[in-house]
Structure 1
Amino acid sequence: MNTKQAFLKFFHLTAVTAITGIFSISVIAQKPQDVIHVESYGKGDPVILIPGLMSDGSVWQQTIEQLQDDHQVLVVNVAGFGKTPKVAGTNLHKVEQAIVDYVNQHHIKQPVVIGHSMGGFLSLALAVNPNIEVKKAISVDGLPYIGAIFARTNQVTVDMMQPQAKGALAYFQNMDQQQLVAQTRQGLAIQATSQQAQQKILDFAAESDPVTVGQITYDLLMRDIRQELVGDKTPILMLGASGGFDTDEQHAAVESLYRGQLANSPNAQVQMNTHSRHFIMFDDAKWLATQIAQFIGE
């Protein structure tokens, strides 16, 4: 796999979409310049839902409907993704800090954090963040270090991926939204199975800010939290998807990669879905709902 193919693979595995028609019970008022905007649904023990690259919170529609009867569901929207207005200077660190600040300012006690792709990375980062206490974390097809997607090995380091990270930053810097849609279109086959879901991905890319996409792609490639997770006792569930691959050997390789990233986290478990593609909430919503319910209830 050459560098361009590897980058496309990474981009396609991290791009996410939205589902329309979601009904919000309440919206937490925030300043226009804030890098996150939070919607609140239901009452009960708190659950935070974080979308992935290019997605706003509506990607979690079915999960919200699943949880809101018994939980306060707090849905994060990131500036520059989907319908959430862009804010200059948005980056991964600011998004993580904004979630921490939100949790502390609103006195949210021991939330369960669930994230998809980029949001999955953030769910794990928040689990080891010393400024909040996460009860449990679920990562839906998001890794502690995404650089392994490029190298196809967990031996990869941030230093090794720095050229690709800089390339991604420059690549998106001068891109317009039409080009972002065209880029996204190239990887639809490994994103989701149905044409309806694939179209949602394209629609969502059309509303996202390419500069923000590039910056957060860079940030993901330049941050590795595998070592921070070593010995961490937070209960973690990694839900991986390998349905975009064809052979048993490929499925086994993906599972090995995922398990290797959490091998030294004592309370982490990995469950693989070999039929679903990256958007598990689209391809196998029932399986995802079951996994979430079982893990939260344990």
Structure 2
Amino acid sequence: MTRIILSLLFLLWGPTLALAASPAAFQSDRIVVEARGAGPDVILIPGLASTSAVWKRTADSLDDRYRVHLVTVRGFGDVPAGGNGEGLISGPAAAEIRRYMVEAGLTRPAVIGHSMGGQIALRVAADAGQRVGRVMVVDASPFFPSLISAGATTGDVEPLARLAYQGLLLFGDEALKTHAGSMGADMGGAADSLFGTLGWQGGDRRTLAQGLYEVMTVDLRSRLPAITAPVTVVYGWSADDRSPRSHIDGLFRAGYRSLRTPAAFERIEGAEHMVMIDQPRRFQAAVERFLR
């Protein structure tokens, strides 16, 4: 049971990088935002246990032509949890990003989110309507368990998600790192192989546990018809038939089929979960196509 819980805890983590962004004038107890550059607006949202540092290469390649807005969800990395120390995480973070869009005077920004940040990007687009120009989700599904089992439901995974929540609070960062090498076995290698590159920055334990619980249980598929902006889905892919990544195309496409306008799909060969770090040149080329 312990190994199963630990496997679930490692579904999605960001890479171990130092936080590069510093707070901008915008004040929020849910998110931190740094803006740099000038031009059309691009919002970058990191995933679970990641800070804006995961977007460093992407931001460096864009900020000479775009105004880049680097988001960090409070409670991840070294950023104090603030309001994310209790209650929900993703919904309030999405609401704060929408408030930031208004206060910063953003004009139909492009929104790019990775993993949990991809789900937040979908929430922003569904609630903001025409105020969002376009959306890119990076290795993110509106319902993550469907990438492991196509027929999974929230009811199926909620008891496991509850155990994962409790397990993260119990085991803590060091125990998770110690057991990382054996994570995939209890799920037939699916979690470890599909969500590869499992380094992470950690953060406030309660915030991490709640974020993981939401990633495992939130099903945004019913919200997709509310999105008016075009959506691009970028994900890691492998040509090796032994890898779960070689069979992921249909699962991603099924997850987004309720969009009012069909999504564009770009698979990045040789990338695992951290697409922008695993294959930075291929990922950046996909971003450039997305922003044209």
What TM-score comes out, normalization by structure 2 length? Answer: 0.85
1:173 pairs with 150, 169, 172, which one? 169
Q: Confirm or deny: 8 A CA contact 1:103 1:132 kept in the other structure.
A: no
**What is the SS of the residue equivalent to 2:10?**
helix
Q: What's 2:73 paired with?
A: 78
Q: Confirm or deny: 8 A CA contact 1:166 1:218 kept in the other structure.
A: yes
Q: Report 1:1-298 matches (<5 A).
A: 5=4, 8=6, 10-20=8-18, 22=20, 27-31=23-27, 34-87=29-82, 88-89=85-86, 91-130=89-128, 133-150=131-148, 152-153=149-150, 155-184=151-180, 186=182, 190=193, 201=199, 204-205=201-202, 208-230=203-225, 232-243=227-238, 246-247=240-241, 250-265=244-259, 266-297=261-292
Looking at structure 2, the residues matched to 92 and 183 of structure 1 have their Cα atoms a distance apart, in angstroms, of: 27
Q: State how many pairs are aligned.
A: 280
Q: Confirm or deny: 8 A CA contact 2:98 2:128 kept in the other structure.
A: no
- Once the two structures are TM-superposed, the CA of residue 12 in structure 1 deviates from its matched residue by 3.3
Looking at structure 2, the residues matched to 186 and 82 of structure 1 have their Cα atoms a distance apart, in angstroms, of: 24
Looking at structure 1, the residues matched to 65 and 157 of structure 2 have their Cα atoms a distance apart, in angstroms, of: 42
CA-atom RMSD in angstroms: 2.8
Looking at structure 1, the residues matched to 171 and 8 of structure 2 have their Cα atoms a distance apart, in angstroms, of: 17
Alpha carbons of 1:38 and 1:167: their partners in 2 closer, same or farther (altered >3 Å)? same
Q: Confirm or deny: 8 A CA contact 1:15 1:184 kept in the other structure.
A: no
Q: Which has the higher contact order (CA 8 A, sep 6+)?
A: 2
**What is the SS of the residue equivalent to 1:277?**
coil
Q: Confirm or deny: 8 A CA contact 2:39 2:67 kept in the other structure.
A: yes
Looking at structure 1, the residues matched to 8 and 234 of structure 2 have their Cα atoms a distance apart, in angstroms, of: 17
Looking at structure 2, the residues matched to 147 and 192 of structure 1 have their Cα atoms a distance apart, in angstroms, of: 15
Q: Confirm or deny: 8 A CA contact 2:19 2:78 kept in the other structure.
A: no
Looking at structure 1, the residues matched to 182 and 46 of structure 2 have their Cα atoms a distance apart, in angstroms, of: 21
**What is the SS of the residue equivalent to 1:273?**
strand
**What is the SS of the residue equivalent to 1:240?**
strand
Looking at structure 2, the residues matched to 252 and 19 of structure 1 have their Cα atoms a distance apart, in angstroms, of: 28
- Once the two structures are TM-superposed, the CA of residue 101 in structure 1 deviates from its matched residue by 1.6
Looking at structure 1, the residues matched to 121 and 132 of structure 2 have their Cα atoms a distance apart, in angstroms, of: 9
- Once the two structures are TM-superposed, the CA of residue 4 in structure 1 deviates from its matched residue by 5.3
How high is the sequence identity, in percent, across the aligned residues?
A: 25
Unaligned runs of 5+ in 2: 185-191
